[in-house]
Structure 1
Amino acid sequence: MQYIDNIIFLILLVAGFGLFAKSLLKIYRNIRLGHEINRNDRKSERWSTMARVAMGQSKMVKRPVAGILHLFVYVGFVIINIELIEIIVDGLFGTHRFLASVFGNGFYSFFTATLEILALLVVIGVVVFFIRRNFYGVKRLTMKELFGWPKQDANWILIIEFALMMAFFKMNAADWVLQQRGVMPALGSFPISSTILGPVFSGFSDGFLHFTEKGAWWFHFVGILFFMNYLYYSKHLHIILAFPSTWYANLDKKGKFNNLDSVTKEIKLMMDPNADPYAAPAEGAEADVPSKFGAEDIFDLNQVQLLNAYSCTECGRCTSVCPANITGKKLSPRLILMKTRDRLEEVGRNIDKNGKFVDDGKKLLNDYITKEELWACTTCNACTEACPVLLDPLSIIFEMRRFLVMEQSAAPQELNLMMTNVENNAAPWQYNQADRLNWAND
């Protein structure tokens, strides 16, 4: 019976990481439903971009208050969970503060003191974020599209992080009091918990402090496993997916038109006076022609676009700078990514249920994203410039527009008129080419 704690710990550890791995595999499978795109060029630039944007948070601090607070939470939470290594070893082998034997007492004291300071910064960050999100009235955080689960999810993640940090302080404070009494070996330095909670705990018995320390330790461990598996259902997947998203980001100049090779070849063929329009296509040429132009559903998007949908932080920076949204149009770039993710998840559940995708009569276009939203976009790229993790909602809008124009001939009247003029007059204006210079006659 003396190993019952270690056995329970092992079971929870395996179950927690097993469920987390299962969730990641499901996300990977869903992303693979999109078509492949080659984004493995310019590797040194991609490494640099990922280090600067995902790890260095360079775009977050463009809005200093939110950026610095996010940096506190991000860096603090990640580094604090390095302690998970110590928790795993202690839980499996019944040791106490294992890393002290590895680091030595001096460096271990510096290490634990640093963790406490970072934990305090995390607490400050999540409290300010909670107040800011729920009581301060930041417009992009109070828009209708965040009502319901998105807002609850954001609040729950802040509450979970706060609770984990409180358990961390509680565990350290109880341990510190026991160390002062000589009941436990003097390992580590706890400047925050000893100052805030130390005086409170000093009046309790050794037995109660042992119970408190162990209870907080278990709460912290189970809380980390819960948080890890909650990510699958949360916008906070960006904690993990921001790194591949920035790696696979589009490094071309913003606004560069994405030409289709098949269309380019067709136009070159039409303009070649020596080309034989009746000649049989070269072997393998059919493979260059896409089965569908543009995107009607998530299967028509590329894998980076689907990765973007999962990586969206729902921060709304894209929507807050969107000129269409600012002027009252229905378009919200954030909502484009959220709806793409919702449709992707629906397709994933369909596959889970049937073993393969069974047509459900729905499409991303019209059932999730409306034509009104798509044509409201000015293609100004403000959304892609504003995104703190380099997501590209405009590329999804563009592909769905391409489908409407090239597959359904469903462009707005103004655009159809312009394309007719280009076809007939070689210019977007509705007058004959011979009259093009008449304006200069006088």
Structure 2
Amino acid sequence: MSFLPNIIFAIVLIVGVGFFAKNVKKIIRNIKLGQDVNRTDNAGARWKNMALIALGQKKMFTRPIPAILHFALYAAFIITQIELLEIIIDGFFGTHRFFKESLGGFYTFLISFIEILSLLALTATIAFLSRRNLLKLPRFNKAEMLGWPTKDANLILIMELVLVTCIFTMNGTDEVLYSLGKSHFEGTGSFNFAVSQHLGPALFGGMSEGALHILERVGWWGHLLMVIAFLNYLYFSKHLHIILAFPNTFFADLNPKGKFDNLESVTNEVKLMMDPNADPFAAPANPDAVPAKFGASDVQDLNWVQLLNAYTCTECGRCTSSCPANITGKKLSPRKIMMDTRDRLEEVGKNMDANKGVFVPDNKSLLNDYITPEELWACTSCNACVEECPINISPLSIIMDMRRYLVMEQSAAPMELNAVMTNIENNGAPWQYNQQDRVNWRNEE
């Protein structure tokens, strides 16, 4: 018996997984460039979020039709890994359908279930391709989706089609070979897989034994190679959410929507001002410390959860399609905010790769080079984007941190906002009235 196929299999698998692991390390390094934030509180609520939103896809079902189609793809992706596990075992040890002997009738049920899910996934994939390329839904045709994002979405769907084709080619040809007593699995009869028992004879019934064996191997190797290609393609694709949706929902902000966090440095200053016993002339504890930066102008100023959000974004556009600013023609697109953050983070990562792990200033930043003040000030802070996101991403948190930088570091707020803040400072209200004028209505008869 030749061990060459087993050796080739092992090399392909190890190299493929090795490249994937290398890219995962890059992603983790880039996310850790963000500022520290504690998201380990209330573990019970966090596990519940992950179970309901990432695993159960609870928020997807606000739009039932795409939710059902997506669930079909998702379920097929999860369950098909059982068949992939069998392929890996067969590849290493030179066996064929390793689990069939031990599982018996349950094996037939299991593969039949995978085939039914694969058929549903095929239907969903065709539907998604049609929605993007024939129906041309508005949220898939925004400015930020032109070029690579659209190609990426189509490419991943085409890969799904190839993968499902490989599954049915492998099972269908094996079904015919087994009925002829020529399968790698010993015995004769029929596997009786739900789809392949009909599809196999219909498509491959008249072929020679040699052709059937070749096609069966094409399907088997095709399945493996597509999975490895998909795994390594994830790094370059929006489909990282397949993996990152789980930590993203676990570490999501549990505070009620609309509750903003306060800058610790500002809070401490206010507390000192309100403390009658504090010495305003006392020297700082560490006179050499670099003053804290207010807000964010680049990805390193954001916290690591916001950077995780950027990598997790599915580019589905639900946030943008629900954004009142975008609906009324403003430049803001919450989806673009996340895509720009990820693109800038990748640029910073490549800079570090080229400079032995050290970031060399490149005279660029997330603010202005990727996201303009016009986009930031168009936001109404309504939280519609946060509510709509199926995996609890918060574009609003990034918008607010960048606004803080514009106001507190650059004094670059819009004229109208500057007037409001001046009035609050001088009059205790947003309006240009003094305190006495504001209560004159009480004296009116």
TM-score by length of 1: 0.97
Q: Distance in 2 between matches of 1:436 and 1:144?
A: 47
Q: Give how far 1:193 is off.
A: 2.3
Letter of the structure 2 residue corresponding to residue 92 of structure 1: F
1:263 corresponds to: 266
Task: Choose the corresponding residue for 1:208, options 204, 211, 214.
Answer: 211
403-412 vs 266-275, which deviates more? 266-275
SS of corresponding position for 1:351? helix
SS of corresponding position for 1:313? coil
- CA RMSD in angstroms comes to 1.5
2:349 corresponds to: 348
Please say if residues 100 and 188 of structure 1, whose CA atoms lie closer than 8 Å, have aligned partners that are also in contact. Answer: no
Letter of the structure 1 residue corresponding to residue 256 of structure 2: K
1:437 corresponds to: 439
Q: Give how far 1:190 is off.
A: 1.7
Q: Which digits, 9 at most, give the CA deviation of each residue in 1:253-289, with x for residues without a partner?
A: 00102111221221122233343211234x46997x8
Q: Which blocks of at least 5 consecutive residues in structure 2 are unaligned?
A: none
Q: Give how far 1:240 is off.
A: 0.3
Q: Which digits, 9 at most, give the CA deviation of each residue in 1:4-49, with x for residues without a partner?
A: 1111101000000000000100100110111111000000110010
Letter of the structure 2 residue corresponding to residue 3 of structure 1: F
SS of corresponding position for 2:155? helix
Please say if residues 83 and 111 of structure 2, whose CA atoms lie closer than 8 Å, have aligned partners that are also in contact. Answer: no
SS of corresponding position for 1:82? helix
Q: Distance in 1 between matches of 2:412 and 2:420?
A: 14
SS of corresponding position for 1:37? coil
Q: Which digits, 9 at most, give the CA deviation of each residue in 1:287-318, with x for residues without a partner?
A: 7x852010010000000000000000000000
SS of corresponding position for 2:39? coil
Letter of the structure 2 residue corresponding to residue 196 of structure 1: L
Alpha-carbon spacing, 1:416–1:149, altered in 2? closer, same or farther (3 Å): same
Q: Which digits, 9 at most, give the CA deviation of each residue in 1:75-99, with x for residues without a partner?
A: 1112112211111110111100011
1:371 corresponds to: 373
Give yes or no for the alignment of 1:251 onto 2:254: yes
Give yes or no for the alignment of 1:96 onto 2:84: no
Q: Distance in 2 between matches of 1:336 and 1:297?
A: 12
Q: Give how far 1:191 is off.
A: 1.8
Please say if residues 112 and 188 of structure 1, whose CA atoms lie closer than 8 Å, have aligned partners that are also in contact. Answer: no
Q: Distance in 2 between matches of 1:124 and 1:245?
A: 29
Q: Give how far 1:196 is off.
A: 2.6
1:111 corresponds to: 110
How does 1:263-412 map onto structure 2 within 5 Å? 263-281=266-284, 283=285, 291-355=292-356, 356-412=358-414
1:33 corresponds to: 33
Give yes or no for the alignment of 1:183 onto 2:182: yes
Q: Distance in 1 between matches of 2:254 and 2:124?
A: 32
Please say if residues 31 and 306 of structure 1, whose CA atoms lie closer than 8 Å, have aligned partners that are also in contact. Answer: yes
Q: Distance in 2 between matches of 1:188 and 1:327?
A: 58
SS of corresponding position for 1:191? coil
Q: Distance in 1 between matches of 2:325 and 2:410?
A: 24
Q: Which digits, 9 at most, give the CA deviation of each residue in 1:215-269, with x for residues without a partner?
A: 1101111111001100000000000000000000001000102111221221122
Alpha-carbon spacing, 1:406–1:68, altered in 2? closer, same or farther (3 Å): same
Q: Distance in 2 between matches of 1:89 and 1:61?
A: 37
Q: Distance in 1 between matches of 2:355 and 2:277?
A: 53
SS of corresponding position for 1:59? helix
Q: Give how far 1:431 is off.
A: 1.1
1:149 corresponds to: 148
Q: Give how far 1:198 is off.
A: 2.1
Task: Choose the corresponding residue for 1:229, options 225, 228, 232.
Answer: 232
Misfit runs of 4+, over 6 Å: 284-287
Q: Distance in 2 between matches of 1:357 and 1:192?
A: 54
Please say if residues 110 and 188 of structure 1, whose CA atoms lie closer than 8 Å, have aligned partners that are also in contact. Answer: no
Equivalent pairs counted in the alignment come to: 439
Letter of the structure 2 residue corresponding to residue 97 of structure 1: R
Q: Distance in 2 between matches of 1:121 and 1:426?
A: 62
Letter of the structure 2 residue corresponding to residue 273 of structure 1: P
SS of corresponding position for 1:267? helix
Q: Distance in 2 between matches of 1:372 and 1:41?
A: 36
Q: Give how far 1:201 is off.
A: 0.9
Letter of the structure 1 residue corresponding to residue 204 of structure 2: F
Alpha-carbon spacing, 1:352–1:415, altered in 2? closer, same or farther (3 Å): same
Q: Distance in 1 between matches of 2:121 and 2:95?
A: 28
Q: Distance in 1 between matches of 2:244 and 2:31?
A: 12
1:81 corresponds to: 81
207-216 vs 289-298, which deviates more? 289-298
Q: Distance in 1 between matches of 2:410 and 2:192?
A: 68
Please say if residues 76 and 118 of structure 2, whose CA atoms lie closer than 8 Å, have aligned partners that are also in contact. Answer: yes
Please say if residues 176 and 200 of structure 2, whose CA atoms lie closer than 8 Å, have aligned partners that are also in contact. Answer: no
Q: Distance in 1 between matches of 2:178 and 2:101?
A: 17
Q: Distance in 1 between matches of 2:239 and 2:102?
A: 33
SS of corresponding position for 2:134? helix
Letter of the structure 2 residue corresponding to residue 331 of structure 1: L
Q: Give the percent of matched residue pairs that are identical in Structure 1 and Structure 2.
A: 59
SS of corresponding position for 1:155? helix
SS of corresponding position for 1:81? helix
Please say if residues 319 and 325 of structure 1, whose CA atoms lie closer than 8 Å, have aligned partners that are also in contact. Answer: yes
SS of corresponding position for 2:58? coil
Letter of the structure 2 residue corresponding to residue 214 of structure 1: R
Q: Which blocks of at least 5 consecutive residues in structure 1 are unaligned?
A: none
Q: Distance in 2 between matches of 1:257 and 1:59?
A: 23
SS of corresponding position for 2:175? helix
SS of corresponding position for 1:420? helix
Please say if residues 423 and 430 of structure 2, whose CA atoms lie closer than 8 Å, have aligned partners that are also in contact. Answer: yes
Q: Give how far 1:194 is off.
A: 2.5
Alpha-carbon spacing, 1:285–1:312, altered in 2? closer, same or farther (3 Å): farther
